[in-house]
């Protein structure tokens, strides 16, 4: 179970990141905050592009920043949107996250205060991982 101070800090980071989302096309602002095994928090927001496929989700933005900073093991991610129901991570983000943390807990919250918690293992059963590559 995540310690309460960490959870609150993760939520705050996700809220702040969402405020910086660049989502002029979908108008769906997403904030994420990824908690590294050592307690470091990495925020991310969705960054869209006029060439639509060039956009990136909040979760993968946070992951890229974390890996670039030398972090590869994560315990929790908070996602925040203003959807009616807590938003699950998209399939591409599930795959990106499972590369590093099959044990990840995903806490998705809405700006109105709803919350859902999933494990990544539940959202992505039978994942393709580095161990799936025969030469590794
Ligand atoms: N989006 C995320 O940032 N994370 C998700 O898990 C789902 C979708 C973004 C991508 C796009 O900028 C917008 O939400 C609408 O799909």
Query: What sections of 40-116 are H helices per DSSP?
Result: 58-68, 91-98
Q: How confident is the model at residue 5 (pLDDT cuts 50, 70, 90)?
A: low
Answer yes or no: is the C-beta of 63 below 6 A from any ligand 1 atom.
no
Q: Quickly list H helices, the chain.
A: 4-19, 58-68, 91-98, 120-123
Rounded to the nearest integer, the mean pLDDT of the chain is 95
Positive or negative, the Cα torsion across 33, 123, 3, 65?
A: negative
What pLDDT does 107 receive?
98
Dist CA 123 CA 104 (whole Å): 10
- Tell me the sheet residues that pair with 22: 47
Residue 48: active-site member: no
Segment 108-132 shows an average pLDDT of 97
Does residue 134 or residue 12 have the better pLDDT?
A: 12
Catalytic residue among 48, 59, 82, 84: 59
Q: Are 73 and 59 in contact (CB under 8 A)?
A: no
92 lines ligand 1 (CB under 6 A): no
pLDDT above 90 coverage of the chain, percent:
92
Q: Is the pLDDT of residue 6 over 90?
A: no
Binned at pLDDT 50, 70 and 90, residue 1 comes out as low
Please name the residues in contact with 102: beta carbons below 8 A apart, sequence gap of 6 or more.
120, 121, 127, 129
Give the separation between CA 53 and CA 72, rounded to whole angstroms: 26
Residue nearest to atom 14 of ligand 1 (CA): 28
Residue range 79-86: mean pLDDT, rounded: 98
Strands (E), 20-83: 31-36, 41-45, 74-81
Mean pLDDT throughout 28-57? 98
- Residue whose CA is closest, atom 4 of ligand 1? 57
Average pLDDT for residues 102-130, to the nearest whole number? Answer: 97
pLDDT score for 76: 97
């Amino acid at each position: 179970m995540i310690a309460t101070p960490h959870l609150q800090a993760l939520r705050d980071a996700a809220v702040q990141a969402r405020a910086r989302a660049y989502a002029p096309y979908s108008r769906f602002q997403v904030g994420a905050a990824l908690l590294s095994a050592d307690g470091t928090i990495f925020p991310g927001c969705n960054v869209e592009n006029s060439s639509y496929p060039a956009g990136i989700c909040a979760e993968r933005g946070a992951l890229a920043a974390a890996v670039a900073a030398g972090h590869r093991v994560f315990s929790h991610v908070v996602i925040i949107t203003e959807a009616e129901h807590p938003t699950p991570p998209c399939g591409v983000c599930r795959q990106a996250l499972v590369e590093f943390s099959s044990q990840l807990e995903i806490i998705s919250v809405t700006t109105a205060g709803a919350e859902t918690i999933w494990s990544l293992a539940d959202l992505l059963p039978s994942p393709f991982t580095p161990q799936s590559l025969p030469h590794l």
